[in-house]
A and B are shown apart, each in its own frame.
Chain A
Amino acid sequence: AQSVSQHNHHVILSEAASLELGCNYSYGGTVNLFWYVQYPGQHLQLLLKYFSGDPLVKGIKGFEAEFIKSKFSFNLRKPSVQWSDTAEYFCAVRSARQLTFGSGTQLTVLP
């Protein structure tokens, strides 16, 4: 069975700080990787995705993530966060026909 771990449950940063959210998964086969974001009171939105090719993927709003196959990781990064980035971030791994989510990381950006 596949699983996804997000190590940070709650991250608090000041505006302009750099962000890195960790995501590790366990599954031996081919995977697709996703980061979803859920802004307060809203639905899940796709932030970025990795299917194949360049392991460094760029998403919306200045976010990027790097797939490191040897470490089973797909960490999310942003060089300079904004107050509007306050949201919950979910890492997800897809293998075969199931999408498994991590438990989420709540990011709070202080103005």
Chain B
Amino acid sequence: DSGVTQTPKHLITATGQRVTLRCSPRSGDLSVYWYQQSLDQGLQFLIQYYNGEERAKGNILERFSAQQFPDLHSELNLSSLELGDSALYFCASSVEGQGHGNTIYFGEGSWLTVV
């Protein structure tokens, strides 16, 4: 158990819909990362938040957005869903702020299937 909690574990929704994925980081971790793992794209970095502020942005579509709340949990919002958005979405967390060498721990992922 990495200590990173993601919900829901599985989600099936229709095209055009909107979903929210939730992530609770490990206790004490200030940074939250979102990754998308699809069959053809591998593991893609989407976005990182640190203590409530966006810190880095990767290959995140405009239809997707995220935020980190004061209690440090994070949500990834996916809207106008397309079939190609079907993937495993990972959340990860790290301590940050304590030097360069921080390990990032991953949650179990949320399986999103768009039909």
Instruction: Write the residues of chain A forming the contact surface with B, with a CB cutoff of 8 angstroms.
Output: 30, 32, 34, 36, 42-46, 49, 51-52, 90, 94, 97-104
Q: Which interface class (under 10, 10 to 19, 20 to 34, 35 or more) fits B?
A: 20 to 34
Within 8 A of A (CB), among B38-61: 42-43, 45, 48, 50, 55-56, 58
Q: Are A46 and B103 in contact (CB under 8 A)?
A: yes
Q: Are B101 and A98 in contact (CB under 8 A)?
A: no
Q: Are A98 and B48 in contact (CB under 8 A)?
A: yes
| Residues in B neighbouring A46, C-beta threshold 8 A | 103, 105
Interface centre among B55, B56, B101 (most CB of A within 10 A): B101
| Residues in A neighbouring B101, C-beta threshold 8 A | 32, 51-52
Instruction: Write the residues of chain B forming the contact surface with A, with a CB cutoff of 8 angstroms.
Output: 2, 31, 33, 35, 42-43, 45, 48, 50, 55-56, 58, 90, 92, 96, 100-109
